[in-house]
Amino acid sequence: MKKLIIFSGSGISAESGISTFRDSGGLWEQYRIEDVATPRAWKNNPAMVQEFYNLRRKQIMECEPNNAHILIAQLESNYEVTVITQNIDDLHERAGSTNVLHLHGNIRQSKSSGPNKEKAYYPIDGWELQMTDLCPDGYVLRPHVVWFEEEVPMYEVAMQQIAEADILIVIGTSLQVYPAAGLINYAINAETRYLIDPNAEELNVPSSFRVIAKNAVEGMTELLQELG
Ligand code: APR
């Protein structure tokens, strides 16, 4: 079977009702990154950061995968599929994808806020993580989310996966956040590369990509007819 990599961003979950970050009305228009998504934000006001992610988790748990997530899961019948997602939601998994790598973490899990934060991830029961919830080492549990200025622990693994891709599908990402966006340059063996994004014409996409300037659901439906 051919190896197919999906590289997804927040746009794939837009039609499930989860806002993107940088579109008009996106999350970073309502919140300042430095207030909620950096190590300093956690140091200065951990309760506010915890609350921000609790609300994100609650919203995500109330949403359902859309047809783009579902069509991607169905690709596993004909391809060896790896989903590399920048999203912290679990909609790819809930749609049935079995091989999902979360570059920026998974909001349904927590981790230690101490020095060994990548040692273990713990499933969160319900939507609320409390400041009194501690890891076995005694540190407050924080969301398993990679903040700005933090290392991306899964980057190397993602890079190796992308280098082996026969087909690459990039979907719903503005390709503005690094190092994640740089991953598409490692698809050195891919015979075909696609990009699905309604705003594709304004993104900085290499000419080797075939662009489908549509929403995720419509774009995936169209692409599937071609891929089979
Ligand atoms: N279908 C497909 N794509 C869509 C849709 C849709 N229905 N609606 C919007 N988009 C596209 C936008 O055109 C844009 O290119 O999704 C993209 C969203 O871009 P961003 O908001 O920048 O989100 P993303 O690329 O996922 O951000 C990367 O930034 O703050 C962080 O850590 C966060 O993982 C995130 C990273």
DSSP 180-210: GGGGGGG-TT-SEEEEE-TTGGGS---TTEE
For 168-203, what is each residue's pLDDT tens digit? 999 999 999 999 999 999 999 999 999 999 999 999
What percent of the chain lies above the pLDDT cut of 90?
97
- Choose the residue to mutate in 7, 13, 16, 23 for probing ligand 1, maximizing ligand atoms within 8 Å of C-beta: 23
Residue 136 has pLDDT above 80, yes or no: yes
Quote the pLDDT of residue 204.
Answer: 84
**How much distance in Å is there from the Cα of 163 to the middle of ligand 1?**
23
Instruction: Collect contacts of 203-209 with beta carbons under 8 A, ≥24 apart.
Output: 203/174, 203/175, 204/175, 205/170, 205/175, 209/170
Q: Rounded to 5, what percent of the chain is helix, strand, coil?
A: 35, 20, 45
For the chain, which domains are there?
A: 1-17+65-104+151-228 (3.40.50.1220), 19-62+122-145 (3.30.1600.10)
Residue 101: CB atoms within 10 A of its CB come to: 15
pLDDT tier, 228 (very low <50, low <70, confident <90, very high otherwise): confident
**Strand order across the 141-145 sheet:** 122-123, 105-112, 141-145
- 141-170 average pLDDT score: 98
For position 176, what pLDDT does the model report? 95
Helix (H) or strand (E) holding 122: strand 122-123
**Which of 221, 196, 225, 195 is CA-nearest to residue 208?**
195
Q: pLDDT for 49-82, tens place per residue?
A: 999 999 999 999 999 999 999 999 999 999 999 9
Q: Which atom of ligand 1 is nearest to the CA of 198?
A: 13
Which residue puts its alpha carbon closest to atom 28 of ligand 1?
A: 177
Q: Is 104 designated active site?
A: yes
What lines the ligand 1 site, CB under 6 Å?
9-12, 14-15, 20-23, 26, 86, 104, 172-174, 176-177, 197-199, 215-216
Ligand 1 midpoint to CA 11 (Å): 4
Other C-beta atoms lying within 10 Å of the C-beta of residue 193: 20
CA–centroid distance, residue 83 to ligand 1 (Å): 16
DSSP for 32-44 reads: -HHHHSSHHHHHH
Mean pLDDT for the chain? 96
